[in-house]
Amino acid sequence: MYKIGEALIGDGPELAHVDLLIGDKQGPVGQAFANGLSNLSVGHTPLTSVIRPNLMTKPATLIIPKVTVGDLEDASKIFGPAQTAVARAVADAVEAGYIPKDIVEDIVINVSVFIDPSAKDFRKIYQYNYGATKLAIRRAMKDYPSIDKVLAEKDRGTHPIMGFKVKKLWSPPYLQVALDLDNLDAMERIIDQLPENERVLIEAGTPLVKKFGVGVISKIRELRPDAFIIADLKTLDVGRVEVKMSADETADAIAISGLGTMESIMKAIHETQKQGIYSILDMMNVDEIDKKLKALPEDLKPDIVLLHRNVDYETWIKEHGGDAGGMTAWGDIEKIKEITGGLVAVAGGVTPDKVETAIGKGADVIIAGRYIIGSRDVRRAAQDFLAHFEPDPDNMRLAMDEDENIPDKKGDKKSSKK
C-alpha cells in the first residue's frame, strides 16, 4: 500500500495543514518512518503520535513538524494538542472504517503538520489538526482527488495564502477591453471604473505599449492584481524576445501578428508555451486564414485566433453605408476552432447589440475598445456588453461543497467531476 493525503482546515495562526503518507511497514513509508525516528534533526524532531502518555495510536503514526521548533513554548504545541489531535484522528479513522482494522499492524502513517509559532489557542490547534488529519486519511484511502476533479479545478481554485488569483480562460465567453490609449491617467481612470467581473479581460493596447513600453503591463497589474492581461504587441519578428519581455511583466497573453512568417509565428508560439502564457494569433489583413492555420504544426497552434477587422477599414465601411458591426467579415468561426482546437476572438466595430450574434456564431472573446474607453461612463458601457453574457462562472459556486462525494440513500457515491 502507498497512499498520499492532504488537507487544510481552519484559519488564523492556528490553521492546520497536513500532508501524510500511508503505507506498509516493509515499504518506503515504513522505511521513512524508521528513518524519522532514528535520524533526529535539530528543530524538526519527529515524534510518535499518542492519544495520551503510554498509549500510542494504531496504525503507528509519526508526526513530523514542518516548522522549526525553536523553544519549549513551540514544543508544547507539538507535544500536546497536535500530538493528541493526530493520534485521535488516526484512531477515529479506523473506527469510522476509513482504514480496515485487519491491516493496522501492517501499515504506518507519516503525518507532516504545520504549527505556526504565533499560534496561541491550544483548543483550536487540537481541533484543526484533528479535522485535517482525519480528512487527509479519508482522502488518501479514497485516492482523492480524482484526475477529473484536478482538471476541473486547476483553473478555478485560488490559494488562500498566495494572495491573488491566476485567471485562466476556462469558461468562455469573455469581454476583452482594449486600452488603445496614449495616456496613463486615462488608463488608470478606465481600469478603476471597469467592473470587477471574471468575464472582463484587460488588453494593453498597441498604442499604450508603443508609448510606454511593456512595463505598462506591470502598471496595469498593480491596479488589477487578479486581472487577465493581454499584451497587444502584434509581434512580427523576434517573437521569443517580445514574448519573454511581456511574460516578465506578468502578461497572461500576447498577441502575435498573423502577417509574420511561419518561422516567426512558430517561434513566438513556442515561447508562449515555454513561458506558460496564452498565444493570440491576430489575423488582421491576413488572406486565406484557414490555410495559414493548417500550415502550423499541431503542437504549435495558437491558443486564441483573433479575427480582427481593422479600424480604418471599419471606418470606411461606415462612411459608405455598410454595417460596421457585421459578422460576415469574420468568416466561419467554428471551422477555425476545428483547425486549432482553441478559442476564437472577434474585434472590429462590435457593439453590445452584436454580442449575442457573435457568441451564437462561436466567438469566445468579444473585444471592445472605443465604445468603452471613449465613454463618459466606463462602467455602464462595459455593463452594456456584460448584460449579454452569462453571469460570472463562479458567482454561484461554493467550492468547499464540491470537495468530497456524499453517498446517496442507496450508499452509491454521487458523481463529482467538478
pLDDT tens digit string along 13-64?
898 999 999 999 999 999 999 998 887 665 567 889 999 889 999 999 999 9
pLDDT tens digit string along 378-405?
999 999 999 999 887 665 555 554 556 6
Q: Are 395 and 373 in contact (CB under 8 A)?
A: no
Q: Which three cell numbers stand for residue 177?
A: 477591453
Domain 174-386 has CATH 3.20.20.70: yes
- What local confidence, expressed as pLDDT, does residue 327 receive? 42
Burial label, 195 (beta-carbon count in 10 A; 0-12, 13-18, 19+): middle
β-bridge mates for residue 233, sequence order: none
Nearest Cα to Cα of residue 203 among 170, 241, 176: 176
**Mean pLDDT for the chain?**
87
Average pLDDT over residues 323-337: 69
Nearest Cα to Cα of residue 203 among 5, 372, 17: 372
Residue 44 appears among annotated catalytic residues:
no
Query: Which CATH entry fits the domain spanning 2-144: 2.40.50.100, 1.10.8.60, 3.90.180.10, 3.30.230.60?
Result: 3.30.230.60
388's CB contacts (< 8 A; 6+ apart) are 352, 355, 356, 359
d(CA 368, CA 177): 5
- Based on its alpha-carbon atoms, the radius of gyration of the chain, rounded to whole angstroms, reads 28
pLDDT tens digit string along 215-243?
999 999 999 999 999 999 998 988 889 99
Q: Are 326 and 346 in contact (CB under 8 A)?
A: no
265's CB contacts (< 8 A; 6+ apart) are 239, 256, 258, 281, 296, 300
Nearest Cα to Cα of residue 216 among 208, 228, 224: 208
d(CA 285, CA 355): 22
- What local confidence, expressed as pLDDT, does residue 407 receive? 59
Pairing of strands 229-235, 200-204: parallel
Domain boundary assignment for the chain: 2-144, 174-386
- What local confidence, expressed as pLDDT, does residue 151 receive? 84
Pick the catalytic residue: 17, 44, 159, 320? 17
d(CA 189, CA 169): 25
d(CA 126, CA 122): 6
pLDDT tens digit string along 148-166?
888 877 777 666 666 677 7
pTM: 0.77
